[in-house]
Amino acid sequence: MAERSQTAPEAGSDMGNDDAIGGNVSKYVVLPTGYCGQPKKGHLIFDACFESGNLGRVDQVSEFEYDLFIRPDTCNPRFRVWFNFTVENVKESQRVIFNIVNFSKTKSLYRDGMAPMVKSTSRPKWQRLPPKNVYYYRCPDHRKNYVMSFAFCFDREEDIYQFAYCYPYTYTRFQHYLDSLQKRNMDYFFREQLGQSVQQRQLDLLTITSPDNLREGAEQKVVFITGRVHPGETPSSFVCQGIIDFLISQHPIARVLREHLVFKIAPMLNPDGVYLGNYRCSLMGFDLNRHWLDPSPWAHPTLHGVKQLIIQMYNDPVSN
């Protein structure tokens, strides 16, 4: 584990702004200025090198206060919103103020009472911080970026604490969920691979309908649902899972829907961005929701695959 102390950047240095952020912090030990030796309890260790993690830099402002920098989306420095990181090596009753100092959005639900999420190893259920401890404001000290500050008190020394923008929902979690559905061998649930992302992650296509609707010559009325084109909009994955859970259930309305409609669901259009901890963009820095008109098979392969399928179904509604 590398030991590093934080010192103030020199005037005019690139390290004084978020342009210098190139990746996530990895077991980053924050030592007081001038301190030598092994880290002690209370010398916080930050980490974001895990799936959907995001934290690009940590500056210690004082004994109790830390400036945290979001890592911009890969290949696109415009988007800095999603954060997801852990803190360990804490002292019991240690109080801190974390300032997330480089938000790129002016409008945020943090201004209307939303609060970041926290969990720890002994309390694995996510919960929101008290809104009274959260402040979202524009700060002249940070290039007039918006800053979200929150106060927190660590209460269990052996715990690792995790903080996130909102409830995370990872690519791996969704793959495990779909695997569990596939093992149930339901005759009205079908899973196939429609394509792959730039980094070769799976683009899943689900079909939920009565088998009678898939017989040759049957006219299909299709409802097409897509989700998670923007990685940081994690509620869409929870909504999508809720839709799937209902449609495959034995609820009388779900049965009627399966008898009369064919549901096609592409639940995660941006698996690379989700995995990498981006907020809005794909691996290559594209806001995929702006590329539906003419998606590239190599730069936007997930959009290209979905759009081709929709066009095919539109042109030949009987054979799909």
Q: What is the pLDDT of residue 319?
A: 59
**128 versus 20: which is more confidently predicted?**
128
Q: What is the pLDDT of residue 234?
A: 98
Token readout for 84 is 């997801």
Tens digit of pLDDT for each residue in 59-118?
999 999 999 999 999 999 999 999 999 999 999 999 999 999 999 988 889 988 899 999
Mean pLDDT of 300-320: 89
CB distance 63 to 136 below 8 Å = no
Q: What is the pLDDT of residue 1?
A: 34
Q: What is the pLDDT of residue 123?
A: 97
Amino acid letter for position 259: E
- Among 3-7, 28-32, 201-205, 280-284, the range scoring the smallest mean pLDDT is 3-7
Q: Is the pLDDT of residue 9 over 80?
A: no
Q: How confident is residue 20, by pLDDT bands cut at 50, 70 and 90?
A: low
Q: What is the pLDDT of residue 139?
A: 87
Three state DSSP letters for 2-64: CEEECCCCCCCCHHHCHHHCCCCCCCEEEECCCCCCCCCCCCCEEECCCCCCECCEEEECCCC
Q: What is the pLDDT of residue 5?
A: 39
CA 39 → CA 31, 90, 152, 162, distances in Å? 7, 11, 21, 20
Residue for token digits 């715990």? 159
For the chain, give the mean pLDDT.
Answer: 92
Q: What is the pLDDT of residue 145?
A: 81
Mean pLDDT of 272-286: 98
Instruction: Tell me how far apart the alpha carbons of residues 295 and 307 are, in angstroms, rounded to a whole number.
Output: 8
Residues in the chain: 320
What percentage of the chain reaches a pLDDT higher than 90? 83
- If one looks up domain 171-315 in CATH, what number appears? 3.40.630.10
What percentage of the chain reaches a pLDDT higher than 70? 93
Q: Is the pLDDT of residue 18 over 60?
A: no
Q: Is the pLDDT of residue 140 over 90?
A: no
CA 139 → CA 144, 145, 149, distances in Å? 5, 6, 11
Instruction: Tell me how far apart the alpha carbons of residues 238 and 265 are, in angstroms, rounded to a whole number.
Output: 14
CB distance 268 to 196 below 8 Å = no
Q: Is 279 exposed, middle or buried (0-12, 13-18, 19+ CB in 10 A)?
A: buried
For 142-155, the DSSP string reads GTT-EEEEEEEEE-
Token readout for 50 is 């895990």
Q: What ranges do the domains of the chain cover?
A: 28-164, 171-315
Best CATH choice for the domain 28-164 from the list 3.30.230.10, 3.40.430.10, 3.30.1310.10, 2.60.40.3120 = 2.60.40.3120
**146 versus 198: which is more confidently predicted?**
198
- Among 27-36, 222-231, 267-276, 298-307, the range scoring the smallest mean pLDDT is 27-36
Three state DSSP letters for 234-253: CHHHHHHHHHHHHHCCCCHH
Q: How confident is residue 320, by pLDDT bands cut at 50, 70 and 90?
A: low
Local structure of 188: helix, strand or coil: coil
Tens digit of pLDDT for each residue in 241-250?
999 999 999 9
CA 224 → CA 15, 83, 149, 205, 318, distances in Å? 46, 31, 40, 10, 16
Q: Is 316 exposed, middle or buried (0-12, 13-18, 19+ CB in 10 A)?
A: exposed
Q: Is the pLDDT of residue 306 over 70?
A: yes
Q: What is the pLDDT of residue 251?
A: 98
Q: What is the pLDDT of residue 99?
A: 97
